[in-house]
Amino acid sequence: MARFTAPTPTRGPGPSHSPPDVLYTPGNKLARALGWFSIGLGAAEVLAPRTVGRLTGVRNTRVLPPCGMREIACGVGILSTARPAGWMWARVAGDAMDLATLGTARATENGKDGKRACMAALAVLGVTALDLICGAQLSAAAALEG
């Protein structure tokens, strides 16, 4: 008499040795846009700190070139890697530092400079929201990829 053996379940084709398709990862398009934005903002802070200071209400313009270098580094990092989640979180940390700088400017200035610092802080909060959304999307995609 022949014995019946149940077939063993299959688990798919096995591991893929090709690189994951990260081009269509949620958040990648936004990350690239934010990377270019970082480079542009950073270049303005490095090359024209007085103008940026006047527009944002920050009178101590010595802090702007280092902030610009940080922005440029984040932008280049985002654009040069297939998985820029870490660089997006670096942007979020930079946004926190920018908000602290603008908060100090708002607290010490009144009149036009104080209002400009407040408006600049609102703009930074908007970009921070985009950075947080993008960072979360990229981190979730990286966690799914393993």
Q: Is residue 80 included in any domain, yes or no? A: yes
What pLDDT sits at residue 23? 56
What pLDDT sits at residue 26? 78
* Residues of the chain with confidence (pLDDT) below 50: 17
Whole-number Å distance between alpha carbons of 49 and 37: 17
Report CA 34 to chain centroid distance, whole Å. 6
Closest by Cα among 22, 19, 18, 97 to 63: 97
Q: What is the pTM of this model?
A: 0.80
Report CA 1 to chain centroid distance, whole Å. 68
Q: Is residue 5 included in any domain, yes or no? A: no
What is the tens place of the pLDDT at every residue in 111-133?
A: 888 899 999 999 999 999 999 99
Residue 137's domain comprises 28-145
Q: Is residue 19 included in any domain, yes or no? A: no
Specify the number of domains making up the chain.
1
